[in-house]
């Protein structure tokens, strides 16, 4: 796919509702912010937030700054937003970290808790880094977590249950991979590219991590604000067609210097 210009990508993000007026309603966003602030670990995405984010309004402020949701605590329902300019800014920051990985021929692990939307974004990025000389980490065999199996599909670690790739926010699959590598006395990744609890737990365990997050998943944005995760790209992580992410992937890889386009 040709690499879009920045204005063309912004237009595409808004048109496909990856950003702009997104499908996730305001009431869902605020509910998740409140649950994170109340200490519900399902919404911490593998991070250890302590009592630093116990005020829902502080969470909203971070999300307005880093994701572009509406910065008005009185706006309680209806439409919410992701700022497409912030999406592209974050893609460019992620591209810088991918370029560093390529230059140093780093070991990189890819994982997703949103295979229905982001699997091919991760797959294409893994292929580009392999072509640049990086080692794409092969996870140990026989890993389990959350009553499922952790394995790789197209170079991307996923959770499988009942012959189905599973949508999960859990950090336990990432724990299984990292603990499995340590048991086999293999080096941990230099970089993890992921989303949900896969990215959060990698960052919490001290590994460089970059990832993607929706406007109702505030933990990774907080982690970037605190420096636990290096980059969090705001986007709707499951729009109506996974092909809508192709221009975003092309822009990312182009900005990282990982394509011939």
Provide φ and ψ at 92, rounded to 5°: -70, -35
Q: Which residues pair with 108 in a beta bridge?
A: 136, 191
Look up the pTM and report it.
Answer: 0.97
Q: Is the CB of residue 149 less than 8 Å from the CB of residue 163?
A: no
pLDDT at residue 75 is higher than 70: yes
Local structure of residue 42 (DSSP, 8 states):
G
Q: Taking residues 214-222, what's their average pLDDT?
A: 98
CA–CA distance, 113 with 130 (Å, rounded to integer): 22
Which pLDDT score is estimated for 260?
65
Q: Taking residues 225-243, what's their average pLDDT?
A: 97
Q: Taking residues 237-247, what's their average pLDDT?
A: 96
pLDDT tens, position by position, 153-207: 999 999 999 989 999 999 999 999 999 999 999 999 999 999 999 999 999 999 9
pLDDT at residue 80 is higher than 50: yes
CA 177 to chain centre: 17
pLDDT tens, position by position, 94-111: 999 999 999 999 999 999
């Amino acid at each position: 796919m040709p690499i879009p210009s920045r204005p063309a990508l912004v237009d595409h993000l808004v048109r496909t509702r990856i950003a702009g007026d997104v499908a996730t309603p305001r009431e869902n966003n605020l509910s998740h912010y409140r649950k994170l602030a109340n200490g519900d670990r399902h919404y911490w995405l593998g991070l250890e937030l302590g009592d630093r984010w116990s005020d829902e309004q502080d969470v909203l402020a971070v999300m307005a700054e880093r994701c572009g949701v509406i910065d008005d605590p009185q706006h309680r329902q209806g439409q919410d937003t992701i700022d497409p300019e912030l999406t592209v800014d974050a893609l460019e920051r992620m591209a810088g970290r991918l370029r560093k990985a390529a230059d140093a021929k780093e070991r990189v692990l890819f994982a997703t808790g949103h295979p229905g939307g982001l699997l091919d974004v991760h797959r294409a990025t893994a292929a580009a880094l392999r072509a640049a000389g990086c080692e794409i980490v092969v996870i140990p065999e026989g890993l389990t977590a959350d009553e499922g199996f952790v394995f790789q599909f197209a170079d991307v670690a996923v959770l499988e249950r009942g012959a189905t790739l599973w949508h999960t926010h859990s950090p336990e699959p990432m724990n299984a991979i990292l603990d499995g590598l340590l048991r086999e006395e293999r080096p941990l990744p230099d970089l993890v590219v992921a989303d949900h609890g896969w990215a959060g737990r990698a960052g919490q365990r001290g590994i460089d991590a970059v990832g993607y997050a929706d406007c109702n998943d505030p933990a990774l944005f907080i982690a970037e604000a605190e420096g636990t995760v290096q980059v969090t790209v705001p986007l709707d992580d499951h729009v109506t067609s996974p092909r809508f992410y192709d221009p975003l992937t092309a822009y990312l890889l182009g900005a990282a210097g990982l394509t011939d386009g």
